[in-house]
Amino acid sequence: MTAPEPGYSADEMMTVAAARELRGTRVCFVGIGLPSLAANLARQLHQPDLVLIYESGTIGAKPSRPPLSVGDGELAETADLVVSMPEIFAYWLQGGRIQVGFLGGAQIDRFGNLNTTVIGPYERPQVRLPGAGGAPEIAWCAQRVVVIMRHRRRAFVERLGFLTTPGLCPGDPERGGALGKGPTAVITDLGVLRPDPATQELVLSELHPGVDPDRVRAETGWHLREAADLGRTAPPTAQELDVLRRLSSE
């Protein structure tokens, strides 16, 4: 039996779900790529006053399209202010002024720890990834973190090759003195994972429309538990898809 074509892709569902996750957010520190697309979608859909901060020092950037890099000219030209890198990290991020840190990653584990450094041994890696960027301090200092990643078994792993960016700490909701509480949602193209308040472990909290929970388990390298109140994501609305497609065209 073939399921009917839903009229949108799994990536579009992921981006729409991530944009919805920013509802009620005032200030968001945005990583490049998937986070930037979703944050710009949120700003155009339901959060026109969402303040987007990129690590290039652009605060309140209003790009018409998601930029290719964190330092594209349009970010600086449309920003409320542009500050130096010492200032963006010291005053704005470490100063506790960011509500949501919005990140991607190459690998994630059951506690939302991220690896963007290496696959294989550090000294002689099979794959050398770009490295930390601003993610460790964003994850440490933002009031909460939202992660967006495609759900694949090689990415959702039992054991990280390298722990670049700390997530949740089992047994320590204070996360060893961090300013923020860490990842509160991991949005994927199959569903949404959220931490179990008792164990801090990420559990399957929502399934996107038409996704079988067995498929999510098959694409997760650890034994993925389900939330007691496992929900279904509402499919993208025509308006959400329309705005997203306009943003991502070109």
Size of the site for other proteins (CB under 8 A): 55
* One of 155, 163, 203, 234 touching other proteins (CB under 8 A): 163
Task: Judge whether 158 counts as a catalytic residue.
Answer: no
For other proteins, the binding residue among 70, 190, 216, 243 (CB under 8 A) is 70
| One character per residue 179-218, x = contact with other proteins (rule: CB under 8 A) | x---------------------------------------
Contact predicate 103/147, CB 8 Å: yes
- Residues contacting 138, CB < 8 A, separation 6+: 29, 31, 55, 93, 98, 101, 103, 145, 165
Strand 100-103 vs strand 27-30: parallel, antiparallel, or unpaired? parallel
Beta carbon of residue 142, minimum distance to other proteins (angstroms, whole number): 12
Q: How many CB atoms lie within 10 A of CB 86?
A: 9
| x/- letters, 37..66, toward other proteins (CB under 8 A) | ------------------xxxx--------
> CA 198 to CA 165: how far, in whole Å?
22
Among 12, 72, 219, 240, binds other proteins (CB under 8 A): 72
Strand pairing report for 127-128 and 144-148: unpaired
Phi, psi of 18 (to 5 degrees): -70, -40
176 sits near other proteins (criterion: CB under 8 A): yes
Dist CA 12 CA 27 (whole Å):
23
> Residue 193, Cβ neighbours under 10 Å: how many?
29
List residues binding other proteins (CB under 8 A).
Answer: 32-33, 55-58, 67-73, 75-77, 81-86, 89-90, 93-94, 113, 117, 122, 124-137, 139-141, 162-166, 176-179
Active-site positions? 55
